Each structure stands twice: as structure tokens, then as C-alpha cells.
Structure 1
Amino acid sequence: MIKVLVADSHPIVQKGLESFFKPSTDLDVVGTVATTNGLFDYLTKSTPDLILLEMDIPEVNGITALRKLKKDYPEVRVLMYSAQPEDVYAVSTLRAGAHGYISKTSDLELLKEAIIKVATGNMFITNELAQRLAFDESTNKPRKYFRRLSTREVEVLKLLSAGKRNKQVAEELGLNEKTVSTYKARLMRKLNVDNMVDMLQQAKALELF
């Protein structure tokens, strides 16, 4: 029986997944947490086989939480679960150490398949995402910019787009303000803009956030 911890801030999602998987003989939802503090507190007491981790979980973002998980609990498999665009975030989360990525719009049976696949030592992305990532970037110009971004650059851009200032970004990501400024300059260059307003509008227009 695969022991699954659901890390998601939405009570309906938590209860829905518990209810859906309750009859399963393959996996068991052993706990639910709504924040990253709750997640790491849970892990001090019990270790699941797999964490279903929401990308936008409160307190620190999902990629930052993922990095800490990989450092402190390398034996735990992590499947990222998000409503954010697959072809933007999947690559970033896989680079950061996730074992798979699935959209919250996916069928529950596919989610079950993904959990089992990841928990048994494999990687998971959807066939559709695999096909999109294989396309020539010239056929999809908006997304090509984001595939150039590093995982850390995506984290910085996400926090800036949420209205956070350099100091807040630095504190959340464990960086200094000068480093955040450097990332901002790189983002502007890679997104082909020359000011913050245009950079954030670009991110919004391309449906990154």
C-alpha cells in the first residue's frame, strides 16, 4: 500500500482526494496538510512514500518547498500537482527534483496512475506535455521564452508577479537583495523587455501567472 500525503491548501481538494482514494487497495491517503509549515511538521513525525504537493501551497512556494524536501527527505517521492500551465512549471519542478507533474484539471484515474508510477520509482508527465515539449520552439513563440528560464528565475518571477518587493523575494528564497536584482536583470533580458512593468505584463500576457 502506497502511503500518500496530500499537501494542498484547499479543504475541498483534501477531502475529495481522501474520499476518492479511500476504496483503493493500491494507495492510502495517510494525511493532509495545508501549508509548508504543516508539511514539514508532519514529516518530523511520519514519513509517507509520496507527497502530492500543490505548486501554490502557502508560506513558501512549491519549488522552494521541493528543494527543502529533496535535501532533508531525499527518500520521499514528490509529485507536483498544480493548476498552473504544464509547459511552464513542469520543466522547472522536474529540474528542482520533482518526480512528476500533473495538472489539477486531470482525470482522477490519471492522477492515481501518476501516483503509482512515481511511487514505484518512475517519472511522470502527460503524453500531451511530452509532445508539446518536443515541438520546435519556433512554432510556439510565447512559451519559448519561459523554457529559457532557470528554475530559480521562474521562482523570482512568480514572486515578483505576486507583488513582492526585492527584500521579500530575497527572504523567501534565502537570497540577498543584490542577487534578486541580478535575477531581475536576467529576466528582463530573456523576456526581451527593459522595465519591470513590461516584464510583469509579459508574464501575465503569456499566462505564466
Structure 2
Amino acid sequence: MIRVVIADDHPLLREGLRRILEFEEGIQVITEVGDGQGAINIARSQKFDVLLMDLNMPGVNGLEACRVIRREHQEIGILVLTVDDSDEKVFQVLQLGVAGYLLKDVEPKTLVESIFKVNNGEPILSPAVTGKLLGQLSHPPQYKQNYGLSDRELEILTYVVKGASNKETGQALFISEKTVKNHLSSIFRKLEVEDRTQAALKAIKLKLVSLD
């Protein structure tokens, strides 16, 4: 059973989300809160798996709550559900290591599927957010700092940003899956990140790769 907490300052939206999730087998909404401090308090007092988090809330906002909860409870999967798709906010939130970023116009079926995926450790981005991230790669700077990455590592990083698996990357570059993993370990170390999602986000922020 996936235990879910809903954090949103609009009671009607919280009620709507609860009704959607109550009909799904394998999901249990354990409580609702109306601000970021409430989410922090629940994370400190109860055990649950996935937090549906709005960003624009009074008092302690969702961004600050994400920062605190990620630092104190890395086992909780945070799925941001918001109307704010500004470039700045998207990058701020994803750099905190949240599990997913969805907009509130998401279909109920997609929301439910996303909760299951987040619980399984899979990163989730709405198509609109993905488009923004990829759009950041369309105009690389004239001078590019490679942060010690080799040409091969930059190639592999490009496939990471595209969402390719290690196997798919190896096939495209005619190298073994093990070689891809070795390069990824080196990439993570040089970029000072811990996983593929963080590597992709940092590559986009630093404009290390360009997608045509």
C-alpha cells in the first residue's frame, strides 16, 4: 500500500485529489495539510511514501518545504503538483532532487500512474516541463566549459538527457553496457551528482550538451 500525503492550500483541490485516489487500489491518503510547515510536521511525525506538494502556499511555501523534507527524509518521494511552470521554479525544484513535477491540469489517470512510478523510484516530468528543459539546450553558448568531461562522456550525457537507457546508449555508440556504466560513474563524480536525473538537470543548466 502506497501511503500518500496531500499538501495544498485549497481545500476543494485537496478534496478532489483525495476522491480520485480513494478509488485506486494500492493507494491510501493518510492525511492532508494546507501549507509547507504542515507537510514538514507530518514528515517528522508519520511514515508515508509519497507527498503531493503544491508550491505556492502561505507561510512556508512548497519550495522551502521540499528543501527541508528532502534533507531530513530522503525516503519520501515528493511529487510536485502545481500551476507554476516558470523556468526558474522548475529548475529550482528539480535541483532539490524531487521525484517529479506535474502541472495541475494533469489527467487523473496520469497522476495515479505517476504516484506508482515515484514510489518505484522513477523520475516523473510533465510533457510541458520536459519541453522547457529541452528548450534550454537549443542555444548553447559560444564558449562552453566542459567541467573535465571527455568527448565520449559528453556523448553519453546527451543520451542521458534524452532519457535513453544504458543499453540503448551502448547500442547507439557501439560500446558495451558496462562501459556506459563506467563512464556514468565518472560523469557523476565530475559533475558532483548522485544519479542520472541530477546529471541530466545539471547538464541542462550548464548547457553541456545540445539536442538537435
- Does the alignment reach a TM-score above 0.5? yes
Query: How many angstroms does 1:20 deviate by?
Result: 1.1
Q: Could you say if the C-alpha distance between residues 79 and 136 of structure 1 is closer, same or farther in structure 2, counting changes exceeding 3 Å? A: closer
**Map of 1:94 onto structure 2:** 94
| Counterpart contact for 2:43–2:69, Cα < 8 Å | no
Q: Could you say if the C-alpha distance between residues 136 and 66 of structure 1 is closer, same or farther in structure 2, counting changes exceeding 3 Å? A: closer
| Counterpart contact for 1:80–1:98, Cα < 8 Å | yes
Query: How many angstroms does 1:133 deviate by?
Result: 2.1
Look up the equivalent residue of 2:124 and give its one-letter code: F
**Map of 2:118 onto structure 1:** 118
Matches within 5 A, 1:134-173: 134-135=134-135
Aligned partners of 1:86 and 1:125: how far apart in 2?
A: 14
| Counterpart contact for 1:36–1:65, Cα < 8 Å | yes
| Counterpart contact for 2:35–2:61, Cα < 8 Å | no
CA RMSD of superposed structures (Å): 1.9
Query: How many angstroms does 1:58 deviate by?
Result: 2.0
Aligned partners of 1:59 and 1:4: how far apart in 2?
A: 22
| Counterpart contact for 1:86–1:129, Cα < 8 Å | no
**Map of 2:22 onto structure 1:** 22
Look up the equivalent residue of 2:77 and give its one-letter code: R
| Counterpart contact for 1:86–1:102, Cα < 8 Å | no
Look up the equivalent residue of 1:119 and give its one-letter code: N
Q: Could you say if the C-alpha distance between residues 10 and 123 of structure 1 is closer, same or farther in structure 2, counting changes exceeding 3 Å? A: same
Query: How many angstroms does 1:128 deviate by?
Result: 4.0
**Map of 1:64 onto structure 2:** 64
Look up the equivalent residue of 2:117 and give its one-letter code: K
SS in structure 2 opposite 1:44? Answer: helix
Aligned partners of 1:42 and 1:51: how far apart in 2?
A: 10
Q: Could you say if the C-alpha distance between residues 41 and 135 of structure 1 is closer, same or farther in structure 2, counting changes exceeding 3 Å? A: closer
| Counterpart contact for 1:77–1:119, Cα < 8 Å | yes
Query: How many angstroms does 1:26 deviate by?
Result: 2.5
Instruction: Calculate percent identity across the aligned residue pairs.
Output: 26
Query: What runs of 5+ residues in structure 1 fail to find an aligned partner?
Result: 140-209
What CA deviation, in whole Å up to 9, does each residue of 1:166-198 have, x standing for no partner?
xxxxxxxxxxxxxxxxxxxxxxxxxxxxxxxxx
**Map of 2:34 onto structure 1:** 34
Higher mean C-alpha deviation, range 4-13 or range 121-130: 121-130
What CA deviation, in whole Å up to 9, does each residue of 1:108-138 have, x standing for no partner?
1111111111111110002343234223666
**Map of 1:106 onto structure 2:** 106
Higher mean C-alpha deviation, range 96-105 or range 124-133: 124-133
Give the TM-score, by structure 1 length: 0.61
Look up the equivalent residue of 2:72 and give its one-letter code: D
What CA deviation, in whole Å up to 9, does each residue of 1:84-108 have, x standing for no partner?
1264422221101211100011111
Tell me if 1:85 matches 2:85. Answer: yes
Query: How many angstroms does 1:75 deviate by?
Result: 1.2
Structure of larger gyration radius: 2
Query: How many angstroms does 1:61 deviate by?
Result: 2.1
Query: How many angstroms does 1:46 deviate by?
Result: 0.9
